[in-house]
Amino acid sequence: MRSNRIAMKFSVSALALAVSLGAHAVTDEDILNDQATTDDVVTNGMGLNGQRFSPLSTLNSSNVENLQPVWAFAFGGEKMRGQESQPMIKDGVMYVTASYSRVYAVDAMTGEEIWQYDARLPDGIMPCCDVINRGVALYDDKVIFGTLDAKLVALNKDTGKVVWIKKVADYQAGYSITAAPIIVNGKLITGVSGGEFGIVGKVEAYDPNTGEILWTRPTVEGHMGYVYRDGEAVENGISGGQAGLTWPGDMWQTGGAAPWLGGTYDASTDTLFFGTGNPAPWNSHLRPGDNLFSSSRLAIDPNDGSIKWHFQTTPHDGWDYDGVNEVISFDYEDDGEMVRAAATADRNGFFYVLNRENGDFIRGFPFVDEISWASGLDEDGRPIYTEDGRPGNPAELSGEQAGSVVARPAFLGGKNWMPMAYSQDTGLFYVPSNEWSMDIWNEAVSYKQGAAYLGAGFTIKPANEDFIGVLRAMDPRTGEEVWRYENTAPLWGGVMTTAGNLVFTGTPEGYLKAFDARTGEELYRFNTGSGVVGTPVTWEMNGEQYVSVASGWGGAVPLWGGEVARVVKDFNQGGMVWTFKLPSDRVASN
């Protein structure tokens, strides 16, 4: 791997821009108001609540056909795979990450590079699901991101020079960081990846100015975490849970439950929301019990890391249905009363609406065409398991694939990491989803540090002949699918919606697409030259509305997709960020 490198490729205009913007800090107020401001994007989620809704309407369903590409920036080199980043924009500068833990600052007007940072990665990194990175956090004069060898790196946002580097966990034990960190109330908060290696998941808070750790909260029900005072770890007795209560013996110490996607935040309740991944190993017969807090959503106090409430979507998970997917805060009226709700679409195929104040289950419903492992949800939202739906116990069976079952959805999920969006205008969630099944069976396994800890075999198959991906508009109050768009290849990129009655997403075939938010009619497409697995954003600059998205095929599908991988085997990898705008003279529709 290359050593740390800051490539200073300043053009005259870019250098002048960087110098002139040096005094503009990203404040807590900027971050809290991101969903309402239109001239920047300073949070992953276009707002801490993760709605990915822009109030901009200059670009709308009547004129989106006039959207034009204005520049494309290449990440360069031979590292062209899995570009899952969401760009950030502040004061005319775009900050975007690329595969292999790289960060770029780009002039948002011209696409010229201002600076580049390449992390020094060791040869032994062990990311389970490609060498991706999903973005940065901006705070004060710093750009902060996580690396594949489980470090946090803070860079000066104007020069790209290193301010501090902090080791979060041991990459040789299987840890990594792929998510964009989140800034809440002056704290830098991150989770970790590595659930397939038997790590102990955790959420931690750091001082964004110094890298000093403030608190740590393991997401496996073992020890309860620590707050740090005067540099010393103090046991956090109010963190909730009980050591080993739902785990046999000491298995929690290799229990997974990695919060690998990152979090959202609700200011009205001062609550962080993090999802947690699969318990380890996949072979559920080795770990009887609910295995908290795996495959769950956690409501966390950002001040000390204590857990306010939890909701487990797949207790005693035996299918790798990680519960990491984003929790989006939203309000709706019910019988004249305002409900403070939170929504999440799980890999297991169910969509959940919860009370975000206390975690109570409000309703749940399938958002995919078929679910085989459960027949429904009970009054508390707990799945009702189908008979013989769980892979068998290899200790009681003989044969290489004994106890194999067909499960739907496949472990890559009804929805995986790719974020959905919520429109404040339509009241609908726009969910990027997939229709696939899997043959899955359990195997004997023992833990070895740094080795895959699965205890299962699998083959993923398309559920239909002509499509796998489905973009769905879902009504969270009724469970109704309002409209759907079917795509040949799996959908693996995020979604954005706007007050202009638009929904944007990308496809592995390379297209950035826009749809009518109310009807699902496809209104716009542009081929970027490689699969789009990033998440689009929009902002305005000099009176014109812009849209940007990273392009570059990769991620988990071609690595883990089984028979599905054949559908995408000819797709080209890539590494670019594309920027479009609606010219001011084309605002009126033709």
Q: Which residues are catalytic?
A: 320
Question: From CA 560, how far away is CA 456, in angstroms rounded?
Answer: 13
Q: Report CA-CA distances (Å) from 537 to 82, 151, 197, 513, 550.
A: 18, 26, 33, 13, 10
Any binding-site annotation on 370? no
Cβ–Cβ < 8 Å for 61, 505: no
Instruction: Consult the annotation and say whether 416 binds a ligand.
Output: yes
Q: Which helix (H) or strand (E) holds 558?
A: helix 557-560
* 566 sits in which H/E element: helix 564-567
Identify any residues that bridge with 94 across adjacent strands, giving them in sequence order.
Answer: 89, 106
Whole-angstrom Cα Rg for the chain: 22
Structure-token match 């948002």, residue found:
108
Rounded distance between C-alpha atoms, residue 535 and residue 523, angstroms: 18
Q: Is 417 annotated as a binding residue?
A: yes
* Other beta carbons less than 10 A from residue 395's beta carbon: 10
Residue type, 89: I
* Residue 84 among known ligand-binding residues: yes
340 annotated among ligand-binding-site residues: no
For 585, other C-beta atoms within 10 Å of its C-beta total 8
Question: Is 320 among the annotated ligand-binding positions?
Answer: yes
Under 8 Å between Cβ of 263 and 182 = yes
Task: Tell me the C-alpha to C-alpha distance, in Å, between residue 257 and each of 253, 267, 486, 495.
Answer: 11, 25, 32, 25
Annotate 431-472 with DSSP letters as a single string: EEEE-EEEEEEE------TTS----EEEEEEESSSS--EEEE
Q: Is 369 annotated as a binding residue?
A: no
β-pair partners for 485: 471
Q: Which helix (H) or strand (E) holds 407?
A: strand 405-407
216 known ligand binder: no
Ramachandran category for residue 58: left, alpha or beta (phi over 0 → left; psi -120 to 50 → alpha): alpha
d(CA 126, CA 192): 13
Q: Tell me the binding residues for Ca(2+).
A: 196, 278, 320
Q: Tell me the binding residues for pyrroloquinoline quinone.
A: 84, 134, 178, 416-417
Q: Tell me the binding residues.
A: 84, 134, 178, 196, 278, 320, 416-417
